[in-house]
Structure 1
Amino acid sequence: MRNPYSEIFRAPGTKGFATAAFIARLPIAMAPIGIVAMLSQTHGEYWLAGAVSATYALVNAVLSPQVSRLVDRLGQSRIAVPTTLISVLSFATLIVVANQHWPVWTLFLSALLAAAMPSIPALVRARWTEIFRNRPELNTAFAFESAADELVYVTGASLSVGLSAALFPEAGMVVSTLLLALGSAAFLLQRSTEPPVRPAEHGANASAIHLRPVQIITFSLIFVGATFATTEVTTVAITKALGQPEAASLVIGVYALGSFVLGIIVGALSLKTPLQRQLAIAVAVIALTTLPLLFADTVPTLALAVFVSGVAISPTFITAFGLIERHVPPAMLTEGVTWVTTGIGIGMALGSFAAGWMVDAFGPQSGFWVSVASGAIALATVLAGQCRLTTDECDVGRGEAVMAAE
């Protein structure tokens, strides 16, 4: 039996940029929870830790599509190099600010500037698309990247929390910043696989967010992202309350382990179920599996509940990116893909803040109520948008009319 994943890596340069991209995007998982772990120890207040983390994630979610639009127009190296440099320097400043207990406003300013970090998942998917455009291997490549995202989440979040708990509060953020600098440099130096700048097509001057399918997917993933952040913050709080703070690293790692394995399997299969239905099923599983989290009051039961709640994450990503590739014009692909990660980033920002407030106000366990509510809203959004995600006929709406007019 042929391995579809080995096929995609036969193309020249794919192994190199895929490896570098994996390292460069580890900070996506490490930075938000690393900020929480760092500030909760240096300042002792979860609301502050959650608010600073939310500032970084929310601003990054807002800036990323704009950065990606510039990438589509001017090229990856020309835009990603300066924005990455700004992000690395700002993260370094944040670490110093936290360690030296400078005024609180400097924490927020550093986090805001660090949010200039470009979307590595979008950049790497644009390279895969350039290589396998209109070929079946592209779906396998997208599945691989979704599984890689999950592996990033498994290793990144748990590594960040583990380093902060075992060494010193800033350890997770120090490693995250180094990986961002080294991984991004290795990725951007591989110019042979960088997509060429394409001339603007008819209607390409508008934003991809004007497309109704992009709106539906982005909005639903805001609430999917909220479940991620809520699980991270609440897990850190519960394990600390149980007197086992070091267990947070293991529990957070388990969260995405099942999803990683399932994502690899799904990517190797040729499923006949329409993508929009696959998305609805995956989000339904996410919503339903938030309920057991409310009853996890020991580390073993917490790990089990978190593991179950994470199994549908990768399938959700695979189908979401597949739908984006189907509905977004090629000249706007980087931005379109970025809106998916933007939705997740916004959700993580809001979820981190909401969970931190719930933990401070009502106790560690109460943070999971944010997950339950978020899962329900995400499912309702995907179900309501099934028609828009199904056929081109259903795509005709005000957003598409604007695109056509331009």
Structure 2
Amino acid sequence: MILFLGARPVVPRPAVLRPVAPRSVVPRPVTAPPVPPSPPVRPSPRVRRHGRGVTLTAPYRRIFAVPGTRAFTAANLLARLPMGMLSVSAVLMIAGTRGSYALAGAVVATGLTATALVGPLTARLIDRYGQSRIAVPATVIAALGSLSLLLCVHYDAPAWALFASYIATATTPNTGGMSRARWAHLFRGDPAARHTANSFEQAADELCFMLGPVLATLLCTAFLPEAGTAVAAALLLTGVLLFAAQRGTEPPVAPRTTGRPRSPLRLPGLSPLLLTFLATGAVFGSLEVVTIAFADVHGVRPAAGGMLALQAAGSCAAGLLYGLLRPTGPAGSRFLGCVAAMSALMPLPLAAASTGSLPALAVALLLAGMATAPTMVTGMGLLQSRTPAAQLNEGMTLAVTALLAGIAAGSAAGGWAVDHLAGPGPAYVMPATAAALALAVTMSRRKGLRSRAR
């Protein structure tokens, strides 16, 4: 009742005129009854859930609130998707038209070796002259190499022409490294934001390598054997052109020094990181080959792609969640913990394969993948803290080169294990061994991995 009265407007009563002599009348002030304070309004459950969601995604919302970050990220994702398409498309195109997986594998292996040699040189030029000035012509050369490979396959050119064409694709710039360099420049004074950005970039890598092979296989099998290579080259060129056009977030070119800059390989603490990346690449390479062989033995080879996608999905999800955590403690100790977690989870596929159950193996691959992204995120953060800004692209490309070399070695070791260890089930010991080797290297070089980065 009090609330009702308090809510009513209070209007003074009108004066009543009486036939008396006029006199001055002072009206009495009219005051409204006091209104009690309203009880606190509780937000609805939907609002509370939304509030928690905003808090949960706040680190990512904060980094993408910087002008220009969404534009260069979208363009870079478009340019990065072909990284998971080119090799698969080349194998399917060459094997489908020439009928030789050996020739297809040799061509791709040669291109991988050329990329490992040329990639750091391209990155050095990017550091010296800028992303837009070097990445665009380098991508044009790589796209022409893919187009040449497509034409050579289509018109039945000699085998040496296939090798020469695919070698030309080695000039493809490290698109992920260029994106990480932009984040490092934008948040050079904010380690927490760099951690979130590196986590997002690693999740993007996993997403592209998860979707790329699936898209390449669909294009090459549903349309033409050359369709995968053509689409990959077009996406790469379009994405790099759009990425290079975002000049507002491009890192400035460091001033030249009179002396010759020291190679990042000679920087203190970088060698242990590269060795760990090498062993981590061996985990990826052996896991892929052994999983394909396991599915083939059980008569479900088409399911191998989905099982490997689960491993990448686990890594992608873990990378995004890891980016929400605020890094604490020395970066070297965090890196050691991540490598130890990877070493502890990687034996799970071996245990699941011993049961012969495909669903159990799929779950084990999902869990095993959850430690790889945090390892790469922390490792890339360490690399950025130890590499001068003028050589950042070159340093990150060296890390990618170590990963590629490890993938090649792991693929060979996984194939050997499948043939010599009584089937693909026991061959899962190879990725577990590679993860243990990564932990051993990290622990043996623990002093070199200590960093002041937080």
Q: 1:238 to 1:391 in 2, by over 3 A?
A: closer
Give the TM-score, by structure 2 length. 0.78
Q: 1:203 to 1:215 in 2, by over 3 A?
A: farther
How much does 1:217 deviate?
A: 1.0
Is the CA contact 1:50–1:356 (under 8 Å) kept in the aligned structure 2? no
How much does 1:358 deviate?
A: 5.4
Aligned residue type for 2:131? Q
2: CA distance between counterparts of 1:141 and 1:37?
A: 34
Is the CA contact 1:231–1:371 (under 8 Å) kept in the aligned structure 2? yes
Is the CA contact 1:247–1:299 (under 8 Å) kept in the aligned structure 2? no
- Map 1:4-403 onto structure 2 (within 5 A): 4-43=59-98, 46-99=101-154, 102-136=157-191, 137-200=193-256, 205-294=261-350, 296=353, 297=356, 299-356=358-415, 368-391=428-451
- Larger RCO, structures 1/2 (Cα 8 Å, 6+ apart): 1
Give unpaired runs (5+ residues) of structure 1. 393-406
Q: 1:227 to 1:58 in 2, by over 3 A?
A: farther
What percentage of aligned pairs have identical amino acids?
37
2: CA distance between counterparts of 1:40 and 1:376?
A: 35
Greater Cα shift, 37-46 or 112-121: 37-46
Greater Cα shift, 83-92 or 302-311: 302-311
Aligned residue type for 2:197? A
Q: Per-residue displacement from partner, 1:45-99 (whole Å, max 9, x unpaired)?
A: 5554443333222321222221111111111122111111111111223334445
2: CA distance between counterparts of 1:270 and 1:386?
A: 23
Is the CA contact 1:53–1:349 (under 8 Å) kept in the aligned structure 2? no
In the alignment, what sits opposite 1:400?
none
Q: 1:30 to 1:361 in 2, by over 3 A?
A: farther
1: CA distance between counterparts of 2:424 and 2:154?
A: 26
Is the CA contact 2:315–2:373 (under 8 Å) kept in the aligned structure 1? yes
Give the TM-score, by structure 1 length. 0.86
Is the CA contact 1:162–1:246 (under 8 Å) kept in the aligned structure 2? no
Is the CA contact 1:225–1:345 (under 8 Å) kept in the aligned structure 2? yes
1: CA distance between counterparts of 2:213 and 2:253?
A: 34
2: CA distance between counterparts of 1:13 and 1:350?
A: 39
How much does 1:332 deviate?
A: 1.6
How much does 1:237 deviate?
A: 4.0
Is the CA contact 1:208–1:332 (under 8 Å) kept in the aligned structure 2? yes
Is the CA contact 2:216–2:228 (under 8 Å) kept in the aligned structure 1? yes
Secondary structure at 1:206's aligned position in 2? Answer: coil
How much does 1:367 deviate?
A: 5.8
In the alignment, what sits opposite 1:404?
none
RMSD over aligned CA atoms reads: 2.8
Give unpaired runs (5+ residues) of structure 2. 1-54
Q: Per-residue displacement from partner, 1:260-286 (whole Å, max 9, x unpaired)?
A: 111111111113243222222322333
> Which structure has the highest helix share of the two?
1
Is the CA contact 1:68–1:338 (under 8 Å) kept in the aligned structure 2? yes
2: CA distance between counterparts of 1:101 and 1:82?
A: 28
1: CA distance between counterparts of 2:357 and 2:247?
A: 50
2: CA distance between counterparts of 1:31 and 1:59?
A: 14
Aligned residue type for 1:388? G
1: CA distance between counterparts of 2:206 and 2:188?
A: 24
Is the CA contact 1:90–1:110 (under 8 Å) kept in the aligned structure 2? yes
Q: 1:288 to 1:215 in 2, by over 3 A?
A: same
